[in-house]
Amino acid sequence: MLILIIMSAPKILYGYVIYTIVVVIKMIDGIIAIDAHVHVHPLGRKRYGKFPVLTPPEMLLEEMDRNGFDKAVIVNAGSVVPELMRENNDYVSEVVKKWPNRFIGFAGICPLLGSVAIEELERAVNVLGLKGIKLYPPHGYPIDSPIVFPIVEKAISLNIPIVIHSDFQSLFCNPYQIARLASLYPEATLIMAHMGMHPDLFLLTPEIVKPYNNIVLDTSGTPECPEITFVYSIRELGVDRIVFGSDALYFDQALALKKLERAKERWGLTEEEKRHILGENMARILRI
């Protein structure tokens, strides 16, 4: 929904031409909306090596405008190759600088690169101005292994959140492993993307993470079950530990939003709970 705050024709007052400023706020049901999980790339990418996906920021902005989103958090996975890791973060920074009111950038960091990863994390935050990091353990490391600890410790010192890809079927990043990392570093803010993804097992995720208040669930890439994704999760964990994510443009933002709407229409999600999920929780985490 678009809300026009002020709009009027030019007026002449005491010989001066006065223009009233038009401010447009994009909202969903009057709620400031932040998509906590999106991807942008300068060129098309191929999922699984063969399915082309177009992910330019201009196309994502069109989707955000169409669906009523004010802001989105870019969480590209980055690369295991140092040069490509830096190029990815440079690109994310450029996108944010071009549209600073619409995008928030996270750095893709690969712990396998050791001190190079630490240096890039510091550069991404202190030079590029990125606001968090994305870890993608399928690059080849268990998320709860010592190789990750220096990255987490650096993120804690920089006071930034960490988005972590999760998958029940992975040897590197199932929800139990992320919960173990959370237990080792209670000071870290860990955003678990996808809730483990598995269509049967993901309903276990809220119970798995419940003891760890530093884990926030990101609803991107979750199965088509609004009751579990939103209602059960928020009732189990409270209003502060769920954020809306779509995984756009890999996945469809409008369909992800429809799941949230159905949770309210059919499964009893309250307006206050929707407000927290759709924007307030991520705004708090990012301090915006």
Q: What is the 3-state secondary structure (H, E, C) of the chain?
A: CEEECCCCCCEEECCEEECCCCCEEEEECCEECEEEEECCCCCCEEECCCEEECCCHHHHHHHHHHHCCCEEEECCCCCCCHHHHHHHHHHHHHHHHHCCCCEEEEEECCHHHCHHHHHHHHHHHHCCCCCEEEECHHHCCCCCCCCCHHHHHHHHHHCCCEEEECCCCCCCCCHHHHHHHHHHCCCCCEEEEHHHCCCCHHHHHHHHHCCCCCEEEECCCCCCCHHHHHHHHHHHHCCCCEECCCCECCCCHHHHHHHHHHHHHCCCCCHHHHHHHHHHHHHHHHCC
**CATH, range 31-286:** 3.20.20.140
pLDDT of residue 49: 66
Residue 10 pLDDT > 70, yes or no?
A: no
What are the tens digits of pLDDT across the range 16-60?
333 333 334 567 878 899 999 999 987 766 666 676 677 899 999
Q: Give the model confidence (pLDDT) of 129-148 as tens digits.
A: 999 999 999 999 999 999 99
pLDDT surpasses 70 at 6: no
Rounded-to-integer distance, Cα 95 and Cα 56, Å: 10
What pLDDT was estimated at residue 26?
67
* Each residue's pLDDT tens digit, 92-133: 999 999 999 999 999 999 999 999 999 999 999 999 999 999
φ/ψ of 216, rounded to 5, equals -115, 140
Shortest CA distance to 76 belongs to which of 122, 151, 139? 139
pTM: 0.90
At 5, is the pLDDT very low, low, confident or very high (cuts 50, 70, 90)?
very low
Report, as an integer, the average pLDDT of 180-197. Answer: 98
| 193: β partners | 165, 218
Q: How does pLDDT run across 251-271, given as a tens digit for each residue?
A: 999 999 999 999 999 999 999
Indicate the burial class of 146 (C-beta count within 10 angstroms; 0-12, 13-18, 19 or more). exposed
pLDDT confidence of residue 68: 97
